[in-house]
Amino acid sequence: MTAMVQRRHPGTSLLFVLIATLVALLLPACQTYDTLVQKDQVCEQKWADIEAQLQRRYDLIPNLVNVVKGSAKHEESVLKEVTEARSQAASIKLTSDDLTDPEKMAAFQKAQDQLKGSLSRLLVVQEAYPDLKANAAFHDLQIQLEGTENRLLRAREQYNDAVRDYNAELGKIRGSAVNKVTGKPFKPRVFFSASTEAHAAPTVSF
């Protein structure tokens, strides 16, 4: 019996090459897309850490103001300044989209800096009031605020590290190409960089 030799149709070979080429192109693109999604989510989580520490600061301030009211009744202007700055800072809520908007980030950072400045001035009021300086509750709040500021600084550093990592991936040729092909769902994030004066935690004096 004569062996039957099957011949592959030229079109089949061409289709196979096209499919293989398509897979070779799409697989890295899918991996890059997944990487951008993952790094973007890390940024979201790190920003949530910042918000948690800011909320802790907001929650501590009313207690601090009440303690000062009891021992430093003549510091109404400072107390009013802190209260208003807290209200202003707490009123600015950023969405995920806002974290890619330089103007909205700048407004948020300005409000936080103003709060920190007024809070620092409130903390040094104790020097002029012996009763306040000796108040255990005031000392406890100072320590808690100092701890919050340190955690906030660390959270800000970690967020900026995540933003740098994400923006670098997005800026690469493959990341930029994938973003463009998929309709540009990814946008560069803005770093959270407080002013030079705001980098220092409020002074705690005993």
Tokens 């620092």 correspond to 120
Do the Cβ atoms of 43 and 97 come closer than 8 Å?
no
Q: Residue 129 sits in which domain range?
A: 48-199
Do the Cβ atoms of 48 and 94 come closer than 8 Å?
no
What per-residue confidence (pLDDT) applies to 105? 95
What per-residue confidence (pLDDT) applies to 203? 45
The whole-angstrom separation of Cα 69 and Cα 52 is 27
Residue 24 lies in a domain: no
Give me the chain's average pLDDT, please: 84
What per-residue confidence (pLDDT) applies to 131? 87
Query: What is the H or E stretch that residue 53 is in?
Result: helix 10-71
Residue 86 lies in a domain: yes
Residue 173 lies in a domain: yes
What per-residue confidence (pLDDT) applies to 56? 96
Q: Which CA distances in Å does 171 have to 81, 95, 117, 158?
A: 42, 23, 36, 20
Q: In which band, very low, low, confident or very high, does the pLDDT at 30 lie, cut at 50, 70 and 90?
A: confident
Q: How many domains does the chain have?
A: 1
Residue 32 lies in a domain: no
Q: In which band, very low, low, confident or very high, does the pLDDT at 17 lie, cut at 50, 70 and 90?
A: low
Domain CATH for 88: 1.20.120
- pLDDT tens-digit readout, 63-81: 999 999 888 878 889 999 9
Residue 22 lies in a domain: no
Residue 18 lies in a domain: no
Residue 79 lies in a domain: yes
Residue 4 lies in a domain: no
**Of residues 27 and 156, which shows the higher confidence score?**
156
The whole-angstrom separation of Cα 185 and Cα 34 is 12
Least confident segment among 14-23, 55-64, 121-130: 14-23
What per-residue confidence (pLDDT) applies to 133? 84
Instruction: Enter the pTM of the model.
Output: 0.80
Q: Check pLDDT > 90 for residue 195.
A: no
Number of C-beta neighbours around residue 155 at 10 A = 20
